[in-house]
Chain A
Amino acid sequence: MNETTSAATKRAPNARRQFLLDAARMACGVGLCGLALGLYARRATALPPAAIRPPGALPEEAFSAACIRCGLCVRDCPYDILLLAKPEEPMATGTPYFVARQAPCEMCEDIPCVKACPTGALDHGLTDITKAKMGLAVLVDQETCLNFLGLRCDICYRVCPVLDKAITLEPQANPRTGRHTLFIPVVHSAHCTGCGKCEKACPTEIAAIKVFPLYMAKGRLSAHYRLGWVEKEKAGGSLVAPDPEHQYNLPEDMRYELGGKGLYRAPPAEPAPSGPAEATGGLPKALKGDRL
């Protein structure tokens, strides 16, 4: 009798001890798994530079919480450009992306990929595809861009679906030849949708213009920055001392018009004392002549 009671009292704490040990073991094991998963998840929330999300995709953090990884956007893309990330790829497994250099977004007007999304990871508020911000084209390599080399390649400019808005060609003097114009492709972030057509079409072996996810392509001014000229316009006048008119110290027959045609030669009021070649002799070559 005495033995059995002592055995019973002995077993109870042992059972409790075993239970606590089992629970602790499970908590530790599962906790370790959770830690590993959490770290892995954190690493994969930054999108690799070549992967562009479909139109209307939420910012990456929200996207990885909202995307259900069903692949409906992939299925409803009429051009089959979208892929689902495989486990070995450095982004959230099963989420959709496209690689612009392989197949850019064709910017369907009805945006079927967004319509297919059951979770709003692709924002259903996006109804105008030209308002999409999948990424931003960046002319990453001026040394290999053919237009920068002085050729009239212009392909990125021509293939851009937001023609002459997202990419413009800005004329610049070609200092190498001294007599030609460089047509510099300039991307305007207000209009670029990040479709990637320019990157796809760039004829160099490795594209000189590339589309990057917005977080990579865009900088941001510090919040306290104010642009003086913008503030001045808002206030309708100078915010500090009254603006003195700027005095330009120029050669005799040159004028400068602020915000207008810039530096120009004044129409000759009276015949120059000597020949015209001599009169402009001190000027750099690029400024000679009426046109660039």
Chain B
Amino acid sequence: MSAANKPVGAEAIASKGWFAAHRWLILRRCAQAAILALFLCGPWLGLWIVKGNLNYSYTLGVLPLTDPYLVVQMLVAGQWPTQLGWIGAAIVLAFYLVVGGRSYCSWVCPLNVVTDAAAWLRRRLDIKGGAHLSRATRYGMLAMTLIVAAVSGTIAWEMINPVSLLHRGLIFGMGFGWAVILAIFLFDLFVMRHGWCGHLCPVGAFYGLLGRFAQLRITLPARENCNDCMDCFAVCPEQQVIRPALKSIDGAPPVILDAQCTNCGRCIDVCSKRVFAFGGRNVAARSGMPPRQESTLPG
């Protein structure tokens, strides 16, 4: 059970094989790489499929995609997007309302690779402790970015937002942006576990709010099989989301309803007992066991 003497996911690899124990991780990295490649094949190969960056992009001259968080900041700062900007924001909003807002974090955001690497190294080097911050701090950060936008009348957050700094930097030139990304890596590695994505990032907080009604969720069709190996807790970037669904706290249905779940699927990968699976929010809630039945479980 202890994570110290057995690497996380070893049981899953033993019982399911290496590929099945890394399926969603590999898919996720492929998605992140593919999205970045789409943006890069224009400037690198002259093949213009997607122009722009994650703030706003225009695909094949037909599909506009706008980051709704930026639209909100713009409105707060007193400006109004064009029609194309609005359409792009509506498409993105609709998409993330279905697949879960923070899917953006784990499947699209380029910074996720950096912070995941920091978390992985932290596990490997067995670095413990560090600063403590409430996970709600990110909502404070979100509010702060909007207040600063309103007071200064500029989209101030975009001047230092590491997410767009990295993505824009990779496509348009990084400059000293690397220093910011390195700082985030070191912060996550030494100062706080999942510090940036899990506690501070206002972009994630915004998309988390979007995910409150998301249809695509992690479900736990076999939560009674859980053997308390704690591997899912070890890999989960938002580990607080698992417990209510896994242990049926207050009769919670076997589906992770917490909006901060990033739908990364690592829990599905590392679970040797196949407790987790992707599923629909309502499907899982309906097919789940009557909630009180599990309340006798310890924890």
Instruction: Assess the A120–B165 pair: CB atoms within 8 A.
Output: no
Whether B172 sits at the interface, judged by CB under 8 Å, is yes
Which residues on the A side are within 8 Å of B180 (C-beta)? Answer: 87
Whether B77 sits at the interface, judged by CB under 8 Å, is yes
Q: Which of B70, B81, B160 contacts A87 (CB 8 A)?
A: B160
Instruction: Assess the A30–B158 pair: CB atoms within 8 A.
Output: no
Please report the C-alpha to C-alpha distance between residue A94 and residue B172 in the assembled complex, in whole angstroms.
9
Please report the C-alpha to C-alpha distance between residue A69 and residue B51 in the assembled complex, in whole angstroms.
12
Whether A66 sits at the interface, judged by CB under 8 Å, is yes
Known contacts A87-B175, A94-B164; is-contact A68 B152 (Cβ 8 Å): no
Which of A39-47, A217-225, A282-290 lies on the face that meets chain B?
A: A39-47
Whether A118 sits at the interface, judged by CB under 8 Å, is yes
Known contacts A119-B79, A119-B81; is-contact A40 B137 (Cβ 8 Å): no
Q: Which of B81, B88, B148 contacts A37 (CB 8 A)?
A: B148
Whether B155 sits at the interface, judged by CB under 8 Å, is yes
Q: B29-72 vs A: 1/0 string, CB under 8 Å?
A: 00000000000001000001001110111100000101100100
Which residues on the B side are within 8 Å of A119 (C-beta)? Answer: 56, 74, 79-82, 85
Instruction: Assess the A71–B168 pair: CB atoms within 8 A.
Output: yes
Which residues on the B side are within 8 Å of A66 (C-beta)? Answer: 74, 77, 79-80
Instruction: Assess the A84–B173 pair: CB atoms within 8 A.
Output: yes
Q: Which of A34, A71, A92 contacts B154 (CB 8 A)?
A: A92
Task: Find the A residue at minimum CB distance from B146.
Answer: A34
Whether B174 sits at the interface, judged by CB under 8 Å, is yes
Whether B84 sits at the interface, judged by CB under 8 Å, is yes
Which residues on the A side are within 8 Å of B155 (C-beta)? Answer: 64-65, 67-69, 92
Whether A61 sits at the interface, judged by CB under 8 Å, is yes
Instruction: Assess the A26–B160 pair: CB atoms within 8 A.
Output: no
Which residues on the B side are within 8 Å of A158 (C-beta)? Answer: none
Known contacts A86-B177, A94-B164, A118-B56; is-contact A27 B156 (Cβ 8 Å): no
Q: In chain A between 63 and 77, which residues have their CB closer than 8 angstroms to a CB of chain B? A: 64-72, 74-76
Chain A interface residue count, CB cutoff 8 Å, equals 45
Whether B153 sits at the interface, judged by CB under 8 Å, is yes
Instruction: Assess the B147–A26 pair: CB atoms within 8 A.
Output: no
Whether B171 sits at the interface, judged by CB under 8 Å, is yes
Q: B86-101 vs A: 1/0 string, CB under 8 Å?
A: 0010000000000000
Whether A62 sits at the interface, judged by CB under 8 Å, is yes
Which residues on the A side are within 8 Å of B137 (C-beta)? Answer: 26, 29-30
Which residues on the A side are within 8 Å of B56 (C-beta)? Answer: 68, 70, 72, 118-119
Instruction: Assess the B175–A88 pair: CB atoms within 8 A.
Output: yes
Q: B173-189 vs A: 1/0 string, CB under 8 Å?
A: 11111001000000000
Please report the C-alpha to C-alpha distance between residue A27 and residue B143 in the assembled complex, in whole angstroms.
10
Which residues on the A side are within 8 Å of B297 (C-beta)? Answer: none
Whether B222 sits at the interface, judged by CB under 8 Å, is no
Instruction: Assess the A70–B55 pair: CB atoms within 8 A.
Output: yes
Which residues on the B side are within 8 Å of A44 (C-beta)? Answer: 159
Which residues on the A side are within 8 Å of B51 (C-beta)? Answer: 71-72, 75-76, 116
Whether A164 sits at the interface, judged by CB under 8 Å, is no
Whether B140 sits at the interface, judged by CB under 8 Å, is yes
Of A22, A119, A121, the most chain B CB neighbours within 10 A belong to: A119
Instruction: Assess the B66–A26 pair: CB atoms within 8 A.
Output: no
Instruction: Assess the B154–A37 pair: CB atoms within 8 A.
Output: no
Please report the C-alpha to C-alpha distance between residue A117 and residue B172 in the assembled complex, in whole angstroms.
17
Which residues on the B side are within 8 Å of A87 (C-beta)? Answer: 159-160, 165, 175-177, 180
Task: Find the A residue at minimum CB distance from B149.
Answer: A65
Instruction: Assess the A42–B152 pair: CB atoms within 8 A.
Output: yes
Please report the C-alpha to C-alpha distance between residue A71 and residue B40 in the assembled complex, in whole angstroms.
13
Whether B283 sits at the interface, judged by CB under 8 Å, is no
| B190 CB to nearest chain A CB (Å) | 18
Instruction: Assess the B52–A72 pair: CB atoms within 8 A.
Output: yes
Instruction: Assess the A40–B164 pair: CB atoms within 8 A.
Output: no
| B41 CB to nearest chain A CB (Å) | 13
Whether A89 sits at the interface, judged by CB under 8 Å, is yes
Instruction: Assess the A30–B88 pair: CB atoms within 8 A.
Output: no
| B181 CB to nearest chain A CB (Å) | 10
Instruction: Assess the B136–A26 pair: CB atoms within 8 A.
Output: yes
Instruction: Assess the A37–B159 pair: CB atoms within 8 A.
Output: yes
Whether B289 sits at the interface, judged by CB under 8 Å, is no
Whether B141 sits at the interface, judged by CB under 8 Å, is yes
Which residues on the B side are within 8 Å of A279 (C-beta)? Answer: none
Instruction: Assess the B82–A71 pair: CB atoms within 8 A.
Output: no
Task: Find the B residue at minimum CB distance from A43.
Answer: B159
19 A-B pairs in the complex with CB atoms less than 8 angstroms apart: A26-B137, A27-B140, A30-B137, A30-B143, A34-B147, A37-B144, A62-B78, A72-B58, A75-B51, A84-B173, A87-B165, A87-B177, A88-B176, A93-B165, A94-B164, A118-B82, A118-B85, A120-B79, A120-B81
* 7 other A-B residue contacts (CB within 8 Å) besides A38-B156, A119-B81: A30-B141, A30-B144, A41-B152, A64-B153, A69-B155, A87-B159, A120-B82
Binding site for A on B (CB under 8 A): 42, 48, 51-53, 55-58, 64, 66-67, 70, 74, 77-82, 84-85, 88, 133-134, 136-137, 140-141, 143-145, 147-149, 151-160, 164-165, 168-169, 171-177, 180
Binding site for B on A (CB under 8 A): 22, 26-27, 29-31, 33-34, 37-38, 40-42, 44-45, 61-62, 64-72, 74-76, 83-84, 86-89, 92-94, 116-121, 124
9 closest residue pairs by CB, A with B:
A86-B175, A41-B156, A70-B56, A65-B77, A66-B79, A64-B154, A30-B140, A34-B144, A118-B85
